[in-house]
Amino acid sequence: MVKVSFNAALAQKDVKKDFETLIPAENRDTEAALVVRQRSRAWCWCVCLGIALFLSGVVVAGAYLYRYYVVEQDNEVFICGVNYHENDYMITEEEEMMEEQSFRQRLLQERIQVLVPDQVEIIHVPVPDFEDGDPADIVHDFQRRLTAYLDLSLDKCYVIPLNTSVVMPPTDLLDLLINVKAGTYLPQSYLVHEEMVVTERLENIENLGAFIYTLCRGKDTYKLQRRDRILGMQKREALTCHKIRHFENTFVVETLICEP
C-alpha cells in the first residue's frame, strides 16, 4: 500500500515537471518568478529528500519484518510437553511403595529449536513445576559431535561428547515434532537416567563451535564424563549433584551432573 501511494506521488511530480517544461519561456523572465522558482526547487529537493528518507525507512522496516518472519519459519521453534512416568522407582523393595511410585506422573515442558542446516538442536528447559531439577539451556551440535548444558541455576556450563543413542538427529527430531505438532503432547513416555562427573575445567571454549561458544561464553565451563566410564570411582562416593531433565527423543533423560 505504501509503495503504491509513493508511486502516485512520483507520478504527480513527473506531471508537474512536464507541466513546467511546457510553460513558454517568455512567461518566466521576471526576477520574481526566478526567485519563486528557486524556492520551489528548494522545496522540491526537501520533498525528495523526505521521500527518500521515508522510503529507506520503509525498506529497513520491510527487511526487518521479512527477516523476522523467515527466521521464525526457518528456525522451527516448538513449545513441547511430554507426560512420563518414573518407572525406575520400581526398584524399591516395598511392594506398596512400588505401586504408588510407578503411577507417579510427571509433565516436562521445553522449547526446542531445530536448525537442520547447522545440524544443531537448541533446547530450553524452564524452571520445572516440581523439584525435578534445574532450568537449563542445552545445545546438541551434531557437526562438532558435542553437547553442552548450561545450568541456569548455577550459571555453569558443561560439555560432553554427543550421545547419538540418546539425542535424535535434527531431521528425525523435526519429523517427530512436526508429527506430534507444536503445542500438543508426546504420547506417554518414560525416564532414563544418566550420571555425569565433572573431570576438568575448560579454559578455551572458542574451538567448541559457534553455538556452544555462544551458550557458554563468560560462564565457568567444565568437561564431563559418564560416571560409569570412570574407572575406580566408587559407586557410593559422595558427590554434589544437580539434575537436568530434558528430552530430545521419545523419552525423557535425567542428566545428573556431579562434582567430586
Ligand X SMILES: *[C@@H]1O[C@H](CO)[C@@H](O)[C@H](O)[C@H]1NC(C)=O
Footprint of ligand X on this chain (CB under 6 A)?
163, 165-166, 192, 194, 226
Closest approach of ligand X to the CB of residue 238, in Å: 23
Closest approach of ligand X to the CB of residue 241, in Å: 16
Comparing CB distances to ligand X, the nearer of 77 and 166 is: 166
Comparing CB distances to ligand X, the nearer of 6 and 251 is: 251
Interior/surface letters 211-227, b for 16+ CB within 10 angstroms, e for the rest: bbbebbeebebbebeeb
Give the per-residue SS3 of 148-190: EEEECCCCEEEEEECCCCCCCCHHHHHHHHHHHCCCCEEEEEE
Rounded distance between C-alpha atoms, residue 230 and residue 227, angstroms: 5
Closest approach of ligand X to the CB of residue 167, in Å: 9
Cell digits of residue 127: 524452571
Comparing CB distances to ligand X, the nearer of 76 and 224 is: 224
257 Cβ neighbours under 8 A, 6+ residues apart: 149, 151, 158, 196, 198, 224, 241, 242, 243, 244
Cell digits of residue 13: 511530480
Comparing CB distances to ligand X, the nearer of 78 and 247 is: 247
Q: Which residue is at the shortest CB distance from ligand X? A: 163
Closest approach of ligand X to the CB of residue 194, in Å: 5
Comparing CB distances to ligand X, the nearer of 12 and 163 is: 163
Closest approach of ligand X to the CB of residue 57, in Å: 53
Contact predicate 215/139, CB 8 Å: yes
